[in-house]
Amino acid sequence: MDTGIDKPRRRIPPYLALAPICVGVFIAADDQTIIVTVLPQIMLDLKVQITELSRASWTITGYLLGYVAAMPLIGRLSDVWGHRNIYIASMLLFMVGSALAALTTDLTALIAARVFQAVGAGALIPISIAMVGDLFPPGERGVPLGIMGASAEAGGVIGPLWGGLIIRYLDWPWVFWINIPLGAAVLLLMIPLVKSSPRFPAKVDYLGGGLLAVSLSTLTLGMARIDSFDLLMLAYFAASLATLGLFV
C-alpha cells in the first residue's frame, strides 16, 4: 500500500563509489609510461629515423607537459562546475585524445594528440582528490587518499608491462584504442555510484592558473634537458622561476 511517504534512498558505500574514480586515475597514469615499450614500433611505422629519437621522445615529454599543466586550473574549475561533471568531461577529453593518437600517421600529430590526451588525464588527479573530500568525512580521508595515490603509482609502474603485452599481440594504436572502452566503463560505473557534488560559485583566477601552468611546464621542460645542461635548460628554469614569481 502506498503511504505517500518517500522511502529514503539507499546510501552507496563510499569505498564502492571510490573504485571507478581510482580506476580512472590508474588509466591516466598508465598512459604516461605505456608508450615506452611501443615507441620503437611507432618509430618504425611512422618512418622516424633512429637519429630522430630525441624528437620521438616528445611523445612521452608532451604527455607529461599536458599532465602537469592541467592540474592548477582544472581543480578550481571543478569546484565551480561540480567535481563529478568536470571528472566526466576530463575523461571524455582523455578518450578523444586517445582516439586521435590511435588514428595519427605522423609523429608531430601524435605528439599533439598526446598533449591533448594528457590535459584530460592530468585533470583527473586534483578532481579525484576533491571527490574523496565529497565521499568521506575529514577524519576518514587518509586511507582513500592513499588508495588513490597507490592507483596512480601502480598505473605508472604497470604501463610498460601493459604496453609490451598489447604490442605482442596487436598493433601499437591499440595502446590508445583500449582507453576508450576502459574510460567508458569508468563513466558508466561512476555516474550511478557517485552523486553530484555541491558547486561553489566563485571567480576563477584564470591568469594565476595560467601562470602556474606555464611555471610547471617550463620546469618540466628544463628537467627533460638536465642531462644536456645547456643554455636552453637554464632558460626553461629561469622562465619557470619568473612565472612562479608572478604567480606569487
Dihedral angle computed from the Cα positions of residues 113, 116, 119 and 122, in that order, rounded to the nearest 10 degrees:
-10
Q: Can you give the pLDDT at residue 186?
A: 94
| Domain boundary pick from 201, 223, 240 | 201
Question: Exposed, middle or buried: residue 80 (CB in 10 Å: 0-12, 13-18, 19+)?
Answer: middle
Q: Would 6 be classed as within a structural domain?
A: no
**Residue 9 clears pLDDT 60, i.e. is over it:** no
Between residues 248 and 57, the one the model is more confident about: 57
Classify residue 4: in a domain, yes or no. no
What does the pLDDT read at residue 7?
Answer: 45
Give the three cell numbers for residue 84. Answer: 563529478
CA dihedral 138, 143, 149, 154 (to 10 degrees): -160
Q: Are 29 and 121 in a shared domain?
A: yes
> Distances in Å between the alpha carbon of 112 and those of 90, 117, 155, 173?
17, 9, 22, 15
Residues 57, 98 share a domain: yes
Say whether both 110 and 195 belong to one domain. Answer: yes
Residue 4 exposure: Cα atoms within 13 Å on the Cβ side: 0
Residue 225: per-residue pLDDT: 73
| One domain, residues 174 and 68 | yes
Residues 87 and 197 in one domain: yes
If asked whether residues 124 and 234 sit together in one domain, one would say no
- Do residues 114 and 123 make contact, with C-beta atoms less than 8 angstroms apart? no
SS3 38: coil
d(CA 89, CA 75): 13
The range of the structural domain enclosing residue 24 comes to: 14-201
Compute the mean pLDDT over every residue in the chain, rounded to the nearest whole number. 85
Calculate the CA dihedral of residues 92, 36, 39, 32 and round it to 10 degrees.
20
Q: Are residue 146 and residue 192 in the same domain, yes or no?
A: yes
In a domain, 5, yes or no: no
- Predicted local distance difference test score (pLDDT) of residue 8: 45
pTM over 0.85: no
User: Residue 7 falls within a domain, yes or no?
Assistant: no
Q: What is the pLDDT of residue 2?
A: 46
Give me the pLDDT at residue 71, please. 76
Could you give the CA distance from residue 4 to residue 88 in angstroms, rounded to a whole number?
35
pLDDT, tens only, 102-141: 999 888 899 889 989 988 998 898 899 889 988 999 889 9
pLDDT digits (tens, 9 = 90+) for 192-205: 888 877 666 667 66
Could you tell me if 63 and 117 are in contact, meaning their C-beta atoms sit under 8 angstroms apart?
A: yes
Whether residues 66 and 101 share a domain: the answer is yes
150 lies in a domain? yes
- Residue 5 pLDDT class (50, 70, 90 cuts): very low
In a domain? residue 35: yes
Q: CATH no. for residue 19?
A: 1.20.1250.20
> Percentage of the chain surpassing pLDDT 70?
91
Is the residue at 2 inside a domain?
Answer: no
* Count of the separate structural domains present in the chain: 2
- The answer to whether residues 46 and 159 belong to one domain is yes
What's the rounded mean pLDDT across residues 74-94?
85
Higher pLDDT, 187 or 248: 187
Number of H helices, E strands in the chain: 11, 0
CA distance 178 to 166: 9
